[in-house]
Each structure stands twice: as C-alpha cells, then as structure tokens.
Amino acid sequence: MSNQATMSSGGTGDKQKSAMVMSQREKVFSITFRMTIIVIAIIFALFPVVFVVASAINPEGTLSTRSLIPNVDDPSELLNNFRALLVDELEIYPFWNWILNSFVVASVTTVLGVMITALSAYSFSRFRFKGRRSLLLGILLIQVFPNLLAMVSLFIILSQVSRLAVIIPQAMPFLSFIDWNWLNFFGLNSAGGLILVYLGGVMGINTWLMKGFFDSVPRDIDESAMVDGATHAQTYWLLIFPLIRPILAVVAVLSFIGTFNEFVLARVLLRDRESWTLMVGLFNFINADFNRDWGKFAAGALVAAVPVVVVYLALQDQIVGGLTQGAVKG
C-alpha cells in the first residue's frame, strides 16, 4: 500500500511539474508573440517619421537618399532646409505667418466650438423639449455628409458675404453711415469665414460625444442645486462645468488638431499667400511640376508637428479618461 501511495504521489508530482513547464512555455510564447507584434507596430509607425526626418536634413531637397543621414562635408548643411524655411527665405515663404494663421484659426475654433458644444450638449442631456429627438438625429445625419460635399456652396456663400459690404450701402443708402467692411472678415479669403466653416464641422459629432458624458453625470446634482435655489446657469457653471473637464479636454484637443491640420477647405477658401494656413503653405513647396522642394516641405512638417505632439502628451490622460467615461451612461 505504501509503495502504491508513493507511486501515486510521484505520478502526481510529475504531472504538476509537466503542467508548470507547459505553463511557462505558454507564457514565454505569449510574451514573445506580443513583443513581436509590438515591435512590428513600432517599426510601422516610426518608418514615416524617420523618412520625413531624413528628407528634412537632406540638403538636396529630394526624397531619394542612399542613407538616412546624408553625407555632407559640413554638418551645418543638414540644417539648410530649416534655416531657409525659418530665417533666410521668409520674404519668399512667410512661414511664421502661416503658423500664426493656423494657430489663430485653430484656437478660436476650439474655444468657440467647445463652449457652444458644451451648452448644446447640456441642453440635450438635461432638458426635454419638443423636437429634441429630431434635432439630435438631424445633427447625426448631417455629420454623415462631409464638408467637402458642401465645398462649392461654402465658396459661393462666403463670396456673397464679401459682396454684401458693397451691395448693402448701394441698395440701402440710408444705412451708408455704417461701415460694412467688417463683413469682409467673414467672407472669402478671411480667417473669420474659415472659422465659421470649421465651427459648423466640429460641433455636430462633438455634441453627441459631450452629451454621452453629460448623461453620465448624476442628475441628483442638478436637483440638489435647484432645491437650494440655484438657476440653470448657476448649476451649469458652478457644479456641472467643473465635472466635465475631461470631455472638454477631449473635444478641445480633437478640434484643435483637426482644424490645425485641415487642408482642403483652407486651400479653396483662402486665396492670398499671406492669409494661408500652414498646411496650405506647405503644399506650395510640392505643388510645382518641375520644382518640388521636398526638403523644405519635410522640415515644415516636422516644425508643425511639435505643438501637436506637445498637446497630445500634455493631455493624453484627459483624452483617455474623457473618452472612456463618456462612453458609459450612468
């Protein structure tokens, strides 16, 4: 009996050892497989960045290079594209004006879009009124069609707005004492007109995103504030607004990056070189058929990527928190 017990215990121990060996092998295989996928994904993500960096430091201004770091006699030649773009050729290419235009347009669009979207989402989340569901579905339906489909109509509308500055004084002389040139700021080839177009594009989907977050905020907060005699405005600004900072950060970052990097609408609506945004200005370097300067284009792309990366790194926790909390209805 003792021999049988010893044999059974020995068999059980062998099975446990083999199971441990198998679990260790599976663990090693799982870790190896995951690390392989991660390395492939990192290489796939970094390859375009490395390619752009190699093009930016190529003094010949071409995309074809034999090595990532070009062979030059003077190391300072690696910065020729940056020096020309940022310092030497500003009279030809107003690079800093393009960055300023992009920053102003993106910032104003972001601030106005966040404030208007937050108020709209709060109204849809907290109030019940006639046509509420139809408006929500209408906003969602409109977002199905991109702004590109309305590009021609937007161009005509903004051009007509610019003409109103001349037509109104002629059609209504009794209003000639008013300076109607302010309409040009919202017409064609203006930052104001471009901002209005961008606002129409960012508020739709962001309203739905914010509404989901507002729905996760307990209504008990509103009810307690109403019992204490607070108005809807006081409840919103003093109680609700501080609680929705994560989703505000999400909408702000998405709006800023989207408008800062937008090209097609800005290319159509902005006509003068001085009023171009950064993306339109960079396109000028590769637009010519026989004189494409890929080096300056790549250098400008790297400079333009710096604020975008900084914003994402600074607010990445808010972005993740805002998206995950807004996706769950409380």
Phi-psi region of 61 (alpha: psi -120 to 50; beta: other; left: phi over 0): left
Residue the block writes with tokens 């999400």: 250
CA distance 24 to 30: 10
The vertex-70 CA angle with 69 and 71, nearest 5°, equals 120
pLDDT digits (tens, 9 = 90+) for 312-323: 887 777 766 655
Mean of the pLDDT values across residues 49-75? 75
* 208-244 confidence digits (pLDDT tens): 888 888 888 888 888 888 888 888 888 888 888 888 8
Q: What confidence score (pLDDT) does residue 326 get? A: 46
Q: How many of the other CB atoms lie within 10 Å of CB of 152?
A: 10
Residue 26 buriedness (CB in 10 A; 0-12 / 13-18 / 19+): exposed
Q: Is the pLDDT of residue 170 over 50?
A: yes
Query: Given pLDDT bands bounded at 50, 70 and 90, which one contains residue 64?
Result: low
Long-range Cβ pairs for the range 189-192 (8 Å, 24+) = 189/162, 189/269, 189/270, 189/271, 189/272, 189/275, 190/158, 190/162, 190/275, 191/101, 191/104, 191/105, 191/108, 191/275
Which option is the CATH number for 94-326: 1.10.3720.10, 3.30.70.2860, 3.40.50.720, 1.25.40.850? 1.10.3720.10
What mean pLDDT comes out for the span 166-185?
82
Q: What is the mean pLDDT of the segment spanning 9-28?
A: 64
- pLDDT greater than 90 at residue 36: yes
Instruction: Of 56-60, 72-76, 263-267, give the range with the top mean pLDDT.
Output: 263-267
pLDDT in the model for residue 271: 86
pLDDT-based confidence at residue 91 (cuts at 50, 70, 90): confident
Which range (110-114, 200-204, 206-210) has the least confidence? 200-204
pTM of the model: 0.80
CA angle 239, 243, 245 (to 5 degrees): 130
pLDDT of 5: 47
| Predicted confidence (pLDDT) per residue in 265-310, tens digit | 999 899 888 889 999 998 888 886 656 788 888 888 888 888 888 8
The pLDDT, as a whole number, for residue 328 is: 45
Rounded to an integer, the average pLDDT of 122-137 is 87
pLDDT score of 18: 63
Residue 193 tokens read as 């007109």
Whether 325 shows a pLDDT value over 60: the answer reads no
Q: Residue 19 and residue 12: Cα distance in Å, rounded?
A: 10
With beta carbons less than 8 A apart as the criterion, state whether 180 and 97 touch: no
Burial group, residue 322, by CB count within 10 angstroms (0-12, 13-18, 19+): buried
- Provide the residue count of the chain: 330
The region of weakest confidence among 108-112, 201-205, 278-282 is 201-205
Q: Taking all residues of the chain, what is their mean pLDDT, rounded to a whole number?
A: 82
- The residue type found at 125 is S
Region of poorest pLDDT, from 61-75, 138-152, 282-296: 61-75
What is the predicted pLDDT for the residue at 39?
Answer: 93
pLDDT over threshold 80, residue 45: yes
* Residue carrying structure tokens 């505000």: 248
CA distances from 126 to 68, 203, 249 (A): 57, 18, 21
Three-state SS for 307? Answer: helix
Q: Which of 136, 137, 138, 125 is closest to 219 using CA atoms?
A: 125
- Structural domain boundaries of the chain? 94-326
